[in-house]
A = this chain, B = another copy of it.
Amino acid sequence: MNASMDSIDTDLAARIRAAIIQGKFHEGERLSEAQLCDLFGVSRTPVRLALRLLEREGVIRRGGGRGYQVHSPTVADILQAVQVRGHLESLAARLMAMSPGRHNQLPNLAAAIDEIERLIGLGVMDDATLRQLQQQNANFHKTILDGCGNDFVGFTCNQISHLPMLEVGSMVFDRQVLSSPQGVERSLFRLRFGNAQHKVIYEAIQKGDAVRAEGVMREHSNTMVEYIEVFEKRNEALTLSDLISYSGIDLAQVQTAAPLSG
């Protein structure tokens, strides 16, 4: 019930999307409806709905004459998108700092900050802890998006949050880095640094310092961009699969092949 709470087409779109991101199709490959039908074992109606959805998301495009062709997002695309999302979040931070009713939401921010601090204090970077960290991080960011008074900011963020690492509040880690003690230590530092930014954002919003809230939030978003760029420099052939982790979307659990027959 994890990936299939929605109807077939939404679920199907998620599976095709995951397949594309994981590189199961070649870049520019033609996708025909019939092909997807018997690949996933469904009829053409949901396939067409899914294709329309994916077209809007930008992971497939109308190619030349007939059919769609896959347009798999590259790491560079994701970096651009993260920048856009960060810019939107900085707008949200500014607006929230200017909002009179912001004090109702402040406890939620504080709770997320404290919980992240507690989790960091444990000093372990196992899967469960990372999941909880991601959850609290998402809480923090979503609270700002919801509390900024402009519903459209959150709406627009959601419009682009289907791509990997674009889910609001997602946290990116290199898989390898967590296997070495130094890597864990560096990751812990990165988390402490991020949470320090959270605290500054919190205080700026509390005091109504809109400029500061916006600026620090922008800087906070930039942190992820730079983190990914470091990877890019270190590893030429960086692929999305190397990075996707703790983003709220677990690609590994999204099955690609059709499981059942009849």
Chain A residues in contact with chain B, CB under 8 A?
9, 45, 48-49, 52-53, 56, 58, 77, 80-81, 83-84, 87-88, 91, 150-153, 155-156, 159-160
Contact = CB atoms under 8 A, between A and B. Distances in A.
Most chain B CB within a 10 A radius of its CB, from A152, A153, A159: A152
Contacts of A156: 84, 156, 159-160
Most chain B CB within a 10 A radius of its CB, from A58, A77, A91: A91
B53 A152 contact: no
A152 B84 contact: yes
Contacts of A58: 155
A145 to B, nearest CB: 12
Contacts of A48: 49
Closest 9 CB pairs of A and B: A80-B152, A80-B150, A87-B91, A81-B152, A84-B152, A159-B159, A84-B156, A84-B153, A49-B52
Nearest to A149: B80
A65 to B, nearest CB: 14
28 contacts: A9-B52, A45-B45, A48-B49, A49-B52, A52-B53, A56-B56, A56-B159, A58-B155, A77-B151, A77-B152, A80-B150, A80-B151, A80-B153, A81-B152, A83-B150, A84-B152, A84-B153, A87-B87, A87-B88, A87-B91, A88-B88, A152-B160, A155-B160, A156-B156, A156-B159, A156-B160, A159-B159, A159-B160
A157 B150 CA distance: 16
A88 to B, nearest CB: 7
A228 to B, nearest CB: 14
A56 B159 CA distance: 8
B84 A150 contact: yes
A153 B81 CA distance: 8
Contacts of A49: 48-49, 52
A80 B156 CA distance: 11
A156 B153 CA distance: 11
